[in-house]
Amino acid sequence: QKEVEQDPGPLSVPEGAIVSLNCTYSNSAFQYFMWYRQYSRKGPELLMYTYSSGNKEDGRFTAQVDKSSKYISLFIRDSQPSDSATYLCAMSSNAGNMLTFGGGTRLMVKP
């Protein structure tokens, strides 16, 4: 079993749809949870950052962490074609900064 599981997609949605991206994990020591967005031929860029359980909202993006279920989500409201990218979840414990990444979900938002 992989330490972090993420559906690779691709996920294709129409413009304006609400998008839900998810990751599950097995290591209960993970405390820090991040979402990175990676456009084609670019490096990943940090999109959302949360510590422990709870929700965090930033504009059209909401990150949720449910540590009891070992499940994290990223919601994108009013999705735009410019949101088309690969979304990577990443997480780490307090020990060092060895982020463990999911394999990424490719999202396509069609106009």
- Chosen residue from 11, 13, 17, 99 binding other proteins by CB under 8 A: 99
Nearer to other proteins, 79 or 88 (CB): 88
Nearest to 35 by CA among 79, 91, 82: 91
Give Cα separations from 108 to 15, 31, 84, 85 (angstroms). 9, 30, 5, 7
* DSSP, res 62: E
Take residue 9 and report the two structure tokens written for it: 């997609």
Q: Is 34 in the site for other proteins (CB under 8 A)?
A: yes
- Chosen residue from 41, 59, 68, 82 binding other proteins by CB under 8 A: 41
Instruction: Name the residues that contact other proteins, by CB under 8 A.
Output: 2, 4, 8, 31-32, 34, 36, 41-46, 49, 51, 88, 90, 92-104
